[in-house]
Structure 1
Amino acid sequence: MSEQWGQQPQDQPDQGQTQAQFPQYSEQQYPSAPPLGGGFGGAPGYGVPGQPYGPPRNSKLAIASLILGIVSLPLVLIAVIGPIAAFVGLVLGVIGIAGASRKNLKRGVGIAGIVLSLIGLIGGGLVTTVELHAVNACKSIDSKTDPTAYNDCVRHNLKF
């Protein structure tokens, strides 16, 4: 039996050769493969049992806190809506961080949401205080009978 180029294959015996003419190898020359799961330390692990695969994710509550913290900053100029959004963002951020430590989630987004919500809450509180002071300073003017004078008084007392 010849190959394409007229040579005998090396691993097959010729018609006149027997198996005894080929060299025999013992197991001492070639060691066996290490046992599965051992020998060289075993297969690498795929994380801690009971925890999800991959890197930690962000908490959904922490993301909501970050969004409300960002939104509360421009809403600070509206007396009541800005501080309410900031307060809700602060509460969601605290809950998100508390849950993140139990569920192996990232905490950075929650911390950023808390910081922005605190800035929005403090700023909203200051703006609300200034607006209430301006409205109280103009109590003597009736806003229903003379709205122009009342608005001019409030604008005059607002010190931004």
Structure 2
Amino acid sequence: MKFDRRNFIFGGATLLGLGGLGYLMRSTAPAVASEGNFAVTMTDDEWRAKLGDAAYQVLRHEGTERAFTSPLLDEHRVGVFACAGCDLPLYNSDTKFESGTGWPSFYTYIDGALGTKVDNSLFGQRTEVHCSRCGGHQGHVFEDGPKPTGLRYCINGVSVKFVAA
């Protein structure tokens, strides 16, 4: 294929259209809590009021925050990262590592804190992780992390809060 102005404009418009379609599909998706029975539940309006716009879109509608925007990327103190929706401790700070992806990353989680489901969005199959107590979307787990697990829990910073030890 010849790379010219027409192909550049058409390709850019296609990517923008697909991105917009993905956003619309995400923003109108049903709340995660409707997909299971969780110990902590609220109405959609209660979640929105508690979380604020960014955390609400991520935790309740499986959105994704922009890469490299979370202040938790630079959080290196001893403590735990807890669910922003229900305060359940999810990750110990000693399992956090610098993945270079733009999102806080952990190589494991606190036993019993997460659930998983298959995510077929964005042209492929991934494993989505959510809080086991409120169902809030955290991010995804990938098999390209460091030892000892070889896993990378790629987590939206707005879906967790840091609690210092």
Compute the TM-score of the two structures, normalised by the length of structure 1: 0.21
Compute the TM-score of the two structures, normalised by the length of structure 2: 0.21
**Which structure has greater helix proportion?**
1
**Which structure has greater strand proportion?**
2
Max radius of gyration: which structure?
Answer: 1
